[in-house]
Chain A
């Protein structure tokens, strides 16, 4: 077999031709086997497109599973820690799922598409776990990652852009709701969801319509200063909005090798996701125990003094090391230096005064800063337009 030199082993998303054309930096990363841009032009400009106008992010590589059948809801309720019956038809819900030891396997979103019909979006491949979880249920689990092309359209002018593209009435769509539109004879599903903490939508369509969707979206969005964004810019936005990233802020339990490296929902600040009133779900027994006996770690959002991101920093209480930083960024809109930290209990309660040991270098000169930081109770970026319905348009 001969391999042509310009052929990559990486998978390409349905938007690849358009993404590649827009990728002026030719800066690519690997997202679960798909080649995806880290940045198209300039990370800051892309970030500010999301915050000031509209940023478009290709999220096709997201693992997607279709869950159908009379037991679809019971299946999901046993799988995840929250009560899935509260996600009504036409709504989307955040969810987290655990192994039997109550350790987080992954987080993602559940789309309630129709009666007995759901889509689960996940960070990690989950075929195996979903298969074993399906035994005993009248349910079909079908992976559809490659069958659906998806774009996130995020930012203050996102609604205007999409309405200009022809999605009339979209401004009435509430946060975490779904709507269906006709697009070039195909079904276009739009959810008011995203990973930026701002007004924004995600578009879901058959792969053969992907390029057309991209073209019409960017044509309609030109007056609204639309811009494609890569994963580096999205990273800043999601930290600013307080969203956890699987694989960064926690290691999916099935991927951990060493004992004690996985985390429970309680240890990730996700207690609100755990509904112990549900009689059966994966991890329930262990989580009941943890609730009774206490957790090992506490997730904390830190407001760090200064403007040096506390990447990989140790966190101290006085002279005692009490934790480490998992994600950090200078957040330009909130003008806050934020960090997510894993702190040993009892540290990390809101208002706790700590110190971050930050290392940074300028022209090969390394500097160590001991930056005071404080545990805050909520993410720093959460503008009212995120929740407003009808959505703001300009």
Chain B
């Protein structure tokens, strides 16, 4: 009985927060009428983010974890409801017309069949490895045990263990899992499995849902089928790695960016949310900070071309980002950790950066993996782009921002690889780079499908031109 009550309380807080966030994002900023459970499930990662930072602050500030957490969660929910009531004045809803013809029905059938198969594979493989693969065990699920066990009294031990355990990693997954265990009063591997399944589900349906707003349903379905067909994307999710969560927030940032271009009245709010959304990636993985800086730089770069650097837009974007990285900042500054990447001194780092053989081998590995790492998806996409063709009158700005974002982030990642303290750097690149590449795949699909021809020739009917 107590277990059901605890679980009920957990589900209540998580879903009601997601419900309010859904109301803010979809009903207010995207002006969509959708009263199903689907959009609530799509925004669940945002609910996880806010709850996870709350758990982290709670761990720092209070001793009686559960009571204070329930109190804090209640306050958080009230404050979100207040924000919602404050901004939600008018109803600007629009319905998305459902297409009912042969190709759409067939694509629907194919998409849902593929998705069902993926969910089946997900569960079968998760039963076989309920703790996830070794990286997930070491870097993501292990911190959850430090945060939860013994009432969180020894969570600081997390920063004293051997450097192989990547204690420097952020705590989005760790604190989300620990929060669930705290409500249940016991550890279970079922929650991390469901947690990663929700993220997998959310990314695919977010892509489908967002493209459906701007384009015909067929284009949204095709892009979602391509994402669902990525075996590496599925495998990373099954392995319980954090990359899918990163890809979710990158995709959301680009969706909000497009919304900001479409809705000039709410542009500043939306740019604030772009900064917030991309900043959240820094609380999931360290490379999230690279993505945040890359995206902000890309947006500012295009505004510089329009000679408007010191304007409100950039301030809102940067403020959103700064708010999102507060927990990451607190963790990294106040809780020191052994970090193998910081084991080199400045002189050694410079010698690594100037080593031509090393530069060449990292470049070669990254270049090869870019084309082969995700099972030739690049060639397939190029062929598809050629086949479909671009729209006649099209706004390439988002695609340009994505390309610049890709260029900046890849350059940063290249520098990170160069200074890694390993001799056989190719092995490290081969292990990590495909995962970094997959983090950008949903956002890339979103950006490219926006400019592809969806046969909506009537300019008025098109929402993204």
- Physical interaction between A and B: no
Interface residues of A (CB under 8 A from B): none
